[in-house]
Amino acid sequence: MSEKTHTDEFLTAATSGLKHDRELQLDVQAELRSHIEEHQREAEANGLTPAAAEEEAVRAMGAVADVATGLEQANRRRMRFRALVRLAAQWLLAPLAVAVAAMTADLGSLQALRVMSNLNGYDIPLIPSGGASEDLGMRRSLTPDQRLVLHGDTTKPTPIAQQKAIWDKWPTNKVYLHNYVTCLLSKEPDDTVVAAEITKLQPLDPDNARFDYILAGRLLKEAVEDKRREVKGPDGKTKTETDTVIKDRAKLDEAMAHFKAGLAKPEFRRYGREMNTERLAIMGEPTSLLQEIAQISFLAGTLLPDASKWRDLERKTLFYGELLASEGRRAEADIFLNAHNRFVLQINRDVFVLIDVLVVGAIANLAAERVPAIYEKLGDTAAAERAREEAAVLAAPVKQFKERVKAFGPPAGQAWETVTRYGSIIANMLLPALGEYPTAEELAPSRHSEYVAAEGLALGILSVVLFVMMLLFVFVALYYRWVRPGRTATLLLLPEASEVARLLAYGVLLPLLGYYLVTRWLPWGPRELGLGYGGEVLLASLLTLLFVMMGITVTLAGRLVRRRCQELQLPVAPPPHRFWKIAAWSLIGILAVPGFLPATTICWIGEWPFMQSLDRLHFFWGLFVALALLTLLIRVVCGIASDVRFGRRCAAYYGSLARTLIPVVALALILVNICSRPYLRMEERRLVKSDTLMCSDLAAGGFTGLESRLVQRLKAEIQEAAKPK
């Protein structure tokens, strides 16, 4: 070990008052050393021996005690400030970064995916009384009454009792009464209980045909039995036909009396649309994709127990009419054989979802098939012809709708192609069956909101990656402190505020700005296609953003630490060979290219002959992830190679680099979340609000805006067709 020189002794003593700030002490020592060495060189040039020159230079500095006191006093304030900053950088920044990431974390995108996977009925999560629900994305509190209307009384043991509790609280409210009836029909397995309850409730809404039809349906179950048999049609194909066998004629008559009574009533109402409207109003206007999907999903879970019974009721009515005619009671028979016109008119006023409309169409279809045949069998060709014409008019709207779905819909219709290419994932799930196709412009808000939700998810992943990076640097710092320590302890360097600001501006803000510019405002629209097609482009741009941010931040911070270590006269390892730097940045450059391309390019490449045998999605995802991993691998290999070659000599440099990078990455994590999260939330809110296709239409009651439009149109057409001529 080399002996301490005069200079070393002077420097150690002169800076002894700065020992609590090791970086500052090394900085001042380096400054004084440079002064002494320069003086020494001049003295040597004037003919002194090196030893005498050193002594002369040290003597010229004056009394070491005076210098030490002066330096300690001059730097006291600075040291105090730096101690606070170091404390914050060492112990506060990393936890603060984690806290900011956790506070701003938005699991909405993940939840949206979960809800989308269960679109057939989303159970509204329980919302604590007076509390807010993050699950539905609802950020406002609910009153106990709102909570009751939304969930029912959850303290009750059964769903029926829970829903009945709403009506119990507001007994004159018909919406809540029929909500209870709906739940009863859906959930009560015992028909006798249903019949008894319905009989009891009927006087509360005497003008509503719903109770009569329910009672009729329940009696028909006991009165007749359907027996299915297979028959060969004229085309040779086997089809199933149903024979109805009477079990109890008295009950059949009673059931049909109920049906007839229902037909005579002024209205048929289930109040399902009104109940949904009330519940959606409580949930509030959706401001996020999750809320939008949750509301669609909630609507998709609407109970529709009546609709399934309507077709059977019509079939039995026709059977009864035929029976009466065969018994010679033609006048009475005519009432039942033509009941479908009045029946359809009545229930059509209450339909509010497409399923309802399709059932109405099925009733009209059944009438169109059976009634003319029955009249022909009775020998009344005029009545048969009239019935054929009327039923055809009645069935036409739904028939035409089905033809439209067939023509424009999957698998090759052009309109379907538009939805699959330009529509969001949720639009792809819900719209093709509607046969009513929106324009590419109408599809844009829903598509873009999915991109934004995916970015929200990616931001969460980015936060996790940055957190893992912080942990990695902690391990590296510990490694150079305990496992492979150097002669000088590792330092937590405190760069100037302006240097940190520049580093974060270049490493975080500029890449973020670049990302938003490229993804939002490129004139050739990298987001013109739905996530199903543009997912690869999104992945490429997100990976590029991640690597550019990490690359610039680590490179700039590394440069800063290298320069500072050189100033402090700590041994510094040479930077990796240029080849590796160029290789890593080239890979990032290649990864960035797809993010700049028009969205259609990926589809175009996907249609290349050699791509036909490959899965486009897996190919591009695999390619981009492989590029990213290769870039990471180059960085890791360079790091390990440097450690093997220079680790022992430059431990202080490597350790200081790792220690200094921890607060830098923490700051980057805070900045990314603070800058991006509010912007993404704002954008998602704006897009969801401007989405007219996928939003739930409170007034019309459809699952989505487009379905509401369709239902309203079909309802109007059926209403027109069913009007007595």
Partner 1 sequence: MDYDANMLKGVVDPIILRLVSERAMYGYEIIKVINERTQGEFEWKEGTLYPCLHRLECAGLIAGEWHESENGRQRKYYKISRKGVAALKEKTAQWAAFSATVNVVLLAPAM
Binding site for partner 1 (CB under 8 A): 14, 27-28, 30-32, 34-35, 37-39, 60-64, 66-67, 70-71, 73-75, 77-78, 563, 566-567, 569
Instruction: Indicate left, alpha or beta for 569 from its phi (over 0: left) and psi (-120 to 50: alpha).
Output: left
Nearer to partner 1 by Cβ, of 150 and 565: the residue is: 565
Q: Judged by CB, which is closer to partner 1: 30, or 396? A: 30
Minimum distance, C-beta of residue 43 to partner 1, in the bound complex (Å): 12
State in angstroms the smallest separation of the CB of 647 from partner 1.
24
Least separation in angstroms between residue 5's CB and partner 1 is 17
Going by C-beta distance under 8 Å and a sequence separation of 6 or more, which residues neighbour residue 547?
588, 591, 628, 631
In this structure, what token pair is assigned to residue 396? 């036409």
* Least spacing, CB of residue 147 vs partner 1, in Å: 60
Whole-number minimum distance, CB 572 to partner 1, in Å? 12
Report which of 246, 177, 258, 261 is spatially closest to residue 218, judged by C-alpha positions.
258
Rounded to 5 degrees, φ, ψ at 680 are -65, -40
Which residue is associated with the tokens 């700590």? 570
Compare residues 66 and 191 and give the one whose CB is closer to partner 1: 66
In angstroms, give the least distance from the CB of 78 to partner 1: 5
Compute the least distance from the CB of residue 40 to partner 1, in Å: 11
DSSP characters over 533-553: HHHHHHHHHHHHHHHHHHHHH
Whether the Cβ atoms of residue 490 and residue 481 lie closer than 8 Å to each other: yes
Nearer to partner 1 (CB atom), residue 26 or residue 457: 26
> Smaller CB distance to partner 1: residue 31 or 226?
31
H/E segment holding residue 139: strand 138-141
Distance from C-alpha of 401 to C-alpha of 392, rounded to nearest angstrom:
14
Tell me how far, at minimum, the Cβ of 447 lies from partner 1, in Å: 52
Is residue 104 within 8 Å of residue 673, measured between CB atoms? yes
Residue type, 46: N
For partner 1, give the closer residue by CB, 566 or 586. Answer: 566
For partner 1, the closer of residues 49 and 69 by Cβ is 69
Residue 384 · residue 372 · CB < 8 Å: yes
Structure tokens belonging to residue 84: 């606070």
CB of 504 to partner 1, least distance (A): 21
Residue 603's identity, in one-letter code, is C
Contacts of 264 (CB under 8 A, 6+ apart): none
Quote the tokens at residue 616. Answer: 């486009």
Residue 274: closest CA among 714, 706, 700: 700
Q: Which amino acid makes up residue 26?
A: L
- Nearest approach in angstroms of CB 84 to partner 1 is 15
Q: How far is the CB of 23 from partner 1 (least distance, A)?
A: 13
Q: 47: phi > 0 → left, psi -120 to 50 → alpha, else beta; which?
A: left
Name 294's Cβ contacts closer than 8 Å, sequence gap at least 6: 111, 115, 122, 124, 136, 137, 283, 286
CB count in 10 Å sphere of residue 175: 21
Tell me which amino acid residue 595 is: G
